Each structure stands twice: as C-alpha cells, then as structure tokens.
Chains A and B, each alone.
Chain A
Amino acid sequence: MLSNIDLQINRGEVLALLGENGAGKSTLVKLIGGYETVSGGTLQLANQAGKLEPLDTSTWNHAKAEAQGVILIHQELNLAEQLNAVENVFLGNEIRRGLFLDKRQMLELTQEYLSILDCDIDPLVPVGLLPVSVRQMIEIAKAYAKNSTLLILDEPTAVLTARESEALFELVDRLTKQGVAIVYISHKLDEIERIADRVVVLRDGELIGDYDAKTLNKDDMARLMVGRELTNLFPTVAPPDSTSDVVLELKNGAVPGLIYNASFQLRSGEILGFAGLVGSGRTALMEAIIGLHRFSKSSTLLVRGKPVSFNSLAAARDAGLAYLTKDRKGSGLLLNMSLPINFSLFSLHNFSNGLINTKKEAIAFSEAVDTFEIRLKDLSINAGNLSGGNQQKLLLAKVMAAEPSIIIIDEPTRGIDIGTKSQIYHFIARLAEKGHAIIMVSSDMMEVIGLSHRVAVMCRGQLVGILEGEHIQEHEIMRYAAGLESQLTEEGEQACA
C-alpha cells in the first residue's frame, strides 16, 4: 500500500496530506493513529521533554496512540448513536467523582467545547437524531476533550457547511497555538490553502513532495496530485434549446414535514443543479420524486407530461427515473459483496428470465468497467475495498445499467479526488449531450456553477428560486440559500409558514 515514506510532523503546524483517492493518505494516517500495522520502518514520537523516542511498531495500536495524545478522526463517523453528545465526548474517558460519573462537569465541559466550535445544540439529545454535520462537530469536540498532541483529521469537512468548516478552522488555529500538531486530509484545495503550513503530496503510495504551503497555489496542488495538467475540469455542454421536451415537471411539490413548496421543470439534455444548505430539503425532495416519500395530494408530478405517483423505487425506475444516493457506503453499495453483484442489483430483472443469466451479467459488467473507467487490477474484490472514486463509478454504472432517461445524482463527487471528479463531470456532460435529463444535487458550489445549465436553490424545505445564465454566481446562490431572497410569491411564502 505504502512504500518508503519519510515524514516528520512538527509541533504547532498544520500538515496537509494531498493525493488522489487510493494514493494512500488514509492508510498513512491509520498507521500513525494505530489502526493499521506497519510492515517496516520506524515510528518515533516526542516525549514530554520534546525528545523523540522510538515506538514499538509491532504493538502500536489506537488505544496506545490515544493514550499518547495521537488522535485520528476517521472519514466515517464513529459515534454511539444512542448516546448523547456529552456521553459521546467523554466515551472511554469519563470523569468520575468517587464511584460515580461526574455528569455536571462533563456537561459543562461539553458545552464549552461545542461553543468553541460555534455548535449550538442540545448536548443531551441522542446524537443519532442530529444532522451529520453536527455529529462531525461532536466528533471533533471528542478529540479536543482528549488533550491531543497530534490530531489527525481525515476529510472532516466533507459533511460540513461553510460556516461549520470555518468554526473548525478557528479551532485548528487555536490548537496549533497551543502546540498541537495537525495532520489534515481534504480534497477541498481552498481549505488547504486557508489552513495548511506544509503540504505533503502522496501518489500511488509514495511521497512525491513536501512543500511550504505558501509556495503553492490551488492549481499547483491539483497538478501535483494528479501528476499531469488538468485542463477543463468542467466540460461545457450546450444548453437544451427551448423546444426540447419537458421530461419531468413538479407542481406545488409538498411532503408533510419535509418539503413545503417546490415546483420546477426539467428538459431532456439539461443539467439542473440543486443548491442549498445541508438540511434544506434537497435530498428529501429527490427521494419524494422517486417514490421514497409521499407527496401531498395538492402536488403534481409529471413525467413526459403524464401525471405519476410512484409508490416504490421500482416503479420510478420502470418509468425511466434513477437516483444516485449521496451515501454510497450506507445506501449505495453492498460493501461485503462482489462488484458484479453490486453492478446488477438495480437492474437485475434485465439479466433474468426466471434464472439470472450470469454470463450476460458478467459481460455487461466488464463493459461497464470500461465505460466508467473503473481502474482496478483485481476485479474480484468486494465493493468495500474500492477507493471512494471507484465506488462512485461503480454506483454510476449500477444505476446506468437500468438505462434511465432522467437521472438524479446526489452529491456526485463527495470525498473524491480531483482526477476522478473530472471524469465524473465529463461523464455527466456526455449523458446530457445524449439527451438524458439530469438533476445534480450538490453542496460543492464550484461544480454546481461549473456544470449546471440552471440552478435551483432550496431553503428550509422550499424551492426558493431558479437561476439562469449570468445569475448563476456564488453570492447570488448563497443569498437564496440563506433565505435572503426568494422568487416565490407572497402567497407561496405564506403557504409554508
């Protein structure tokens, strides 16, 4: 996985690890954090006096690492969902008074940590009920509570909003001033520009460069990661002409408790971006369209002009609609199953006339491997062992195997390296050129602006505006997303209030 990496991490600095998916970033930090064993080489950690002492790599594990202040926050959240924020923050690290837990002190400390993170929640609610971004903040508070000397953050902002990310960066600043060393992994290059002191680039398991962050700009970083020049990250797709068919139309879309008011039209050949803050109802709206939630009676959903009401995903699929979930590990792929089984799962009826035709399935899969450029030496591994980028491509292949004409993609490139991102953008563009209609839900402002023909913005369960042409700009999208502006009539506004 990794070979020959020499790396020093200094007190009080933010070291950014850059690299494409599968470059070995997560593996490297797992070695340091004690979640994987080193097969060769040495690991040294500074003691209280600041002198480096070699560690026994064969017995190094995460419990020892945490005891020494080396704390890794995983890409995937590791909270006990039934427990509340206080219990999670002090899990395994509880403060006792005599035999009993000192609940009051733990509550006060948790409140203090969360306020540093600008995270205003009730710390006594089970964290499973809180949004993902808040859970990430609790995870960070938990690491903070442990008095770390080396804090490793593996893509902490993938699920955070811009404001929450900013609160995190302020915490990082505060920690580095206290002398804590930070290792930071992110695919968001502007973040790295904002907080990193040093940038280390990995490619294919090797360390290919160690740079002073001041000497690099975003373009340099992207080039170093990929190892080649990146031209036109966002392909340009001619917008559909006004005569092309409206394939999907929603009028007065409402789902009790989730969506209050959403109306839009989608034409074939069009890429319609959906922007909005986390929790603004974008995913809920898409899930309602494909039949996972019920629209209220006043809503009308038209597919190619015909009113429809899907009571299952299968019905939506048979009408030519497909939805790519944003949660590829939780609801996209069977991680402990083989790639072909994952590939055919959404369109399995196409491969069966009573019995599954495994030959046909295998042929279709190997074609998809080519079409979607799933780059793998060993195709017999399970989906869970794929890198994020390959997982996303497999998910795309799985959904496209049903040959949908209307494709809803939720967060198409979350947690994916820039090279794969570019491939996925080009793929979406090709689909649109072929006349597919595409909805792209995304929290990545760059891709919404770079790829969409029009941008619908949602705010608190309402579709508050659709921007076109020169209006597709970051600050304008933000104004709608934040609820400062709306194209809804007074009447529509009131309906939701």
Chain B
Amino acid sequence: MLEIKMPRSIDLKTAGPFVALIALFILGAFVNDAFLSSGNLSNILARSSFIGIVAIGATFVITAGGIDLSVGSMAAFISGCMILIMNSLMDHIESIAVLILIAILASALIGAAAGCINGLLTTKAKIEAFIVTLGTMGIYRSLITYMADGGTLSLNFTVGDVYSEVYYGTLLGVPYPVWVFLSVAIIGYVLLNKTVFGRHCFAIGSNEKVALYSAIHVDRVKTMTYILQGVCVSIATIIYVPRLGSASGQTGVLWELEAIAAVIIGGTMLKGGYGRIWGTVVGALILTLIGNILNLTDMISNYLNGAVQGIIVIAAVYLQRGAWRKQAPS
C-alpha cells in the first residue's frame, strides 16, 4: 500500500522546531526554579495563544503563497470596535452575557470582512499581497488611533468584570485562551492537512499556474485564506480584549511580525507550497518562551528579547533553505 508522503527531507525538518522547544524548556528549568511552576507555565501558554491563533491563520495565507501584514492593526481595530459596541449598547441591553455575545459576533464579522477585503484586492485587483496588506495595516492602525482619539478606549468596568472571565477563567486548571488556542490549532490542522481546501492551498503556493490548470478556483481559495486569517485575528482579539479591557494605537503592534516569525520557525515555507500547523504552534510557544526565560534570568537583558527572537527566525530560515537545496532536483 502506498502512502501519501511529503518530501523526505521534511521529515528531518519537522523535528527541528520540537527539538528547539524542548531545548528551550530544559534551559528554562536550569535558569530559574520558578520556570516550571504551574503559574509560569500556564502564563506562557496563555500568552502564546494570541500570537499562536493569529499565526495559525497566517499559516494558511503563507502556505497559499500570500502574506498578511495587517493582522496587528486589524487586531487593534477589532478590539476598538468591540469595546465601542459594548460600551454603547450597554444601556440598551440588560444581559451582559448577550452584550458580550453581540460584540463577539461583530468581531467575527469585522475580521472576516477585513480578510475578505485583503483577499479581493489581492486576487481581483491583482495587487501584490505585500502592498495590499501594508496599505490596510496603515488604515486599521490609524482608524484605531482615531477611534481612541489618540488615547485609550476602555471597556466599561461592569462589562469588563464579567468578560474578564474569558481570559482569566480556567477549565480543568487550564486557562480558557489555551483551550481556544488548542481548538483553533486542531481545526486548522484538519483543514490544512485533511481537506480539499488545504490541499488546494499547498498547490497554489507551490505553483499557481499548475493549480489553475488543475481546475482549482485559485482566486476563491486565496481569498478564503485571507478570510480565515481575519477570523483568526478576531478570535485572538476576543480573548485579548478581556485581558486588559482596553484598546489603543499601541495594541497589537508588531503582531504581524511575531505571527510570521512563528509560522517560519515552525517550518512553513515563506514562498508558499508547504505549511505546518503544529510547527506554527511550536513556533508561537518558542517566541513566548524566549521572552519568559529572559525575564527569569539576569544573564541577558530582557531588552534583547527582540534580538534573540530575530536570531532564532534567521537561523530557522537558514536551516530551511539548506534542507531544500539538497532536495532540489539538480
């Protein structure tokens, strides 16, 4: 019986991010005893979930050969919208639970619409994804700043009190955001690896022309990846808003780069054609772990967090390239 296999060199590569994660884990344990405390571990997981969920969406976009730089601004914009909606509807709706549900629904719709705009501009207007999302990145960032009038939008205290349960509450001792992260990852994995849609993402990222001649609705699938990305951003926002209960022009800054970094560290190819959801999950965990370990040690200044992350990303891509060069037919 034959099995569907991805190129063999990837089998070696798949292990890479996991090995790095375990190494960081061991390093963390040595650096500070507090690292292995359940409080610290659940903190790491909860913090990873924002970038992780966004990065799962980014895995689809990148696998299909695209890029989305607007996710950070989009998250800030959606946060702002949610807070404005909840604050303004407060006097009209008695049940706070219903109010929050309305905000969540609105968040999903705005996320999907924003993704759809990115997708249609890329596919129908035929503008490079980099340029489209660079543009929308600026638009959403300035919209949230405008909505907050240059300051901070704060969620009404009564609502915030109820909503904060979504971030701080736990199930079986594990914070809700982690459950959401896990669910999104599982759904993402099935969608990318087990469905026609996922296979089409691989095909388009690998060679768009071949995909077209294989009767794949290239534009539709590409637009879908951006919509998925938008929905993922909205999910991340839904669990992010109750954490601080506010949104400002500084919300979600550089999330796009962290999300792309997580995707790349996880072994997804930036040029498209190959993507791995579990790699992305590990990538997001690695990024958070680095920050956490630097916080717990005096050896390297915490201010160098970005530098260490940068080195990890570059190293990951370097390893990726090397493996693919060996694979390439000569």
Contact = CB atoms under 8 A, between A and B. Distances in A.
A470 B283 CA distance: 69
Contacts of B8: 380
A330 interface: yes
Contacts of B12: none
A382 B215 CA distance: 21
Contacts of B217: 312, 314
Contact of A317 (B3, B196, B215, B327): B215
Contact of A331 (B1, B210, B327): B210
B212 interface: yes
A333 B206 CA distance: 10
Nearest to B219: A312
Contacts of A337: 7, 202-203, 206, 273
B329 interface: yes
A317 B217 CA distance: 12
Interface stretch (A161-169, A189-197, A358-366): A358-366
A336 interface: yes
A361 to B, nearest CB: 7
A334 B329 CA distance: 13
A363 B4 CA distance: 11
Interface residues of A, number: 44
Contacts of A352: 195-196
A332 interface: yes
A36 interface: yes
Nearest to B1: A362
Interface in B194-242: 194-196, 199-200, 202-203, 206-207, 209-217
A325 interface: yes
Nearest to B324: A336
A325 B207 contact: no
B3 A362 contact: yes
Contacts of B3: 358, 362
A336 B7 contact: yes
Nearest to A359: B1
B195 A338 contact: no
A297 B193 CA distance: 42
B6 A338 contact: yes
A42 to B, nearest CB: 21
Contact of B207 (A36, A292, A335, A340): A335
A384 interface: yes
B190 A355 contact: yes
Contacts of A295: none
Contact of A385 (B190, B215, B329): B329
A355 B2 contact: no
A92 interface: no
Contacts of B215: 312-314, 316-317, 346, 402
Interface in A342-358: 345-346, 348-349, 352, 354-356, 358
Contacts of A336: 7, 206, 273, 327-328
B210 A332 contact: yes
Contacts of B200: 348
B3 to A, nearest CB: 6
A332 B4 CA distance: 19
Given A35-B330, A336-B273, A355-B190, A341 B213 contact: no
- Most B CB within 10 A of own CB, among A323, A354, A356: A356
A332 B213 contact: yes
A77 interface: no
B196 A358 contact: no
A265 to B, nearest CB: 25
Interface of A: 30, 35-36, 292, 312-314, 316-317, 323, 325, 330-338, 340-341, 345-346, 348-349, 352, 354-356, 358-359, 361-363, 365-366, 379-380, 382, 384-385, 398, 402
29 contacts: A30-B330, A35-B330, A312-B217, A314-B215, A314-B217, A316-B215, A323-B213, A330-B207, A330-B209, A330-B210, A331-B207, A331-B209, A331-B210, A334-B206, A334-B210, A334-B273, A336-B7, A341-B199, A341-B203, A352-B195, A352-B196, A355-B190, A356-B195, A356-B199, A361-B4, A362-B1, A362-B3, A380-B5, A384-B329
